[in-house]
Amino acid sequence: YADHTEQPWYPPLREFAVSGPLVALVLEGDEAISVVRGLNGATDGRAAAPGTIRGDFSLSNRENLVHASDSEESAAREMALWFPAL
């Protein structure tokens, strides 16, 4: 989220992200980005479809429970942050 640090919603998002345990993982496979983003559901959990992670477990547009890269470039950048040995 480096490109969003000046947004008014960034500080509360950051506070939520560091408020408890976090699990980072790398998933790979055919169409992994679109498949995982589909499983996650809409960013705003209040609008996410039932059966998605956000649709079933989120009540917020900020505390959205999960993150998924939106492109191969984003995935590479994010993997380097969390898993520099990859």
Long-range contacts of 26-32 (CB under 8 A, 24+ apart): 26/79, 26/82, 26/83, 26/86
**Catalytic hit among 36, 43, 67, 79:** 67
Tokens of 7: 């947004």
C-alpha distances in Å from residue 67, one per residue of 14, 23, 27, 36:
13, 11, 12, 9
> Any catalytic annotation for residue 67?
yes
Catalytic residues: 67
